[in-house]
């Protein structure tokens, strides 16, 4: 498995080397020692979750207030356009975003550190997304930012077919400055 760094500090990619044969493939999707080499504590993950999305669906942009939430995201089946937005005060890449294509064929994943917002668009029908999360969910800490925020100008690759109600009515980043101040994650 290869570890990759990105333009946003703390956002790390993992690219496994699937072994293919006539039956299909086998791929290691998580390795504690590789996580340690990337600077992550593999024992910090306390929840695994899965979402399934239809073609064109956008989920996000979501962030956790308080201590934030680190998560390892992988598209286990299908493909997604995955987006990470750095909202850590003091970060040299504050308010910038990166995108990745995660796919079930490659089994690649991305670690999203606390203080970064996350969203994705399903490029296939369906797309199954696996999350390994480092904190128990607390709905009172959930914050959603408009996926079509003009300031961020995320270039979603497909027309947005469907979102949740909360994602559809989420305010832009500029309207959330006070609430984002409650994200305890800072970069020195």
Question: Residue 186 domain-assigned?
Answer: no
Range of the domain at 148: 45-180
Structurally, how many domains does the chain consist of? 1
Q: What percent of the chain has pLDDT over 70?
A: 98
Question: Residue 79 domain-assigned?
Answer: yes
Residues contacting 76, CB < 8 A, separation 6+: 29, 50, 104, 107, 128, 129, 130
Q: Does the pLDDT value for residue 188 go beyond 70?
A: no
Distance of alpha carbon 165 from alpha carbon 137, whole angstroms: 20
3-state class of 112 per DSSP? Answer: strand
Average pLDDT along the chain: 95
pLDDT tens figures, 43-102: 999 999 999 999 999 999 999 998 899 999 999 999 999 999 999 988 999 999 999 999
Which pTM was predicted? Answer: 0.94
Question: Residue 39 domain-assigned?
Answer: no
Which residues are annotated as catalytic?
Answer: 62, 131
């Amino acid at each position: 498995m290869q570890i990759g760094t990105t333009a946003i500090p703390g956002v790390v990619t993992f690219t496994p080397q699937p072994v293919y044969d006539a039956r299909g493939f086998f791929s290691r999707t998580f390795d504690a020692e590789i996580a340690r080499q990337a600077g992550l504590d593999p024992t910090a993950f306390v929840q695994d979750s899965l979402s399934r999305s239809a073609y064109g669906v956008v989920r996000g942009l979501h962030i956790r207030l308080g201590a934030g939430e680190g998560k390892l995201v992988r598209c286990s089946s299908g493909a997604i356009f995955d987006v990470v937005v750095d909202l850590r005060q003091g970060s040299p890449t504050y308010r910038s975003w990166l995108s990745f294509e995660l796919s079930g064929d490659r089994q690649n994943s991305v670690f999203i550190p606390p203080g970064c917002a996350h969203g994705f668009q399903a490029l296939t029908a369906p797309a199954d997304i696996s999350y390994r999360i480092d904190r128990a969910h607390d709905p009172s800490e959930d914050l959603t930012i408009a996926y079509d925020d003009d300031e961020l100008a995320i270039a979603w690759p497909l027309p947005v077919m469907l979102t949740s109600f909360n994602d559809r009515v989420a305010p832009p980043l500029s309207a959330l400055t006070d609430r984002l101040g409650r994200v305890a994650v800072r970069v020195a």
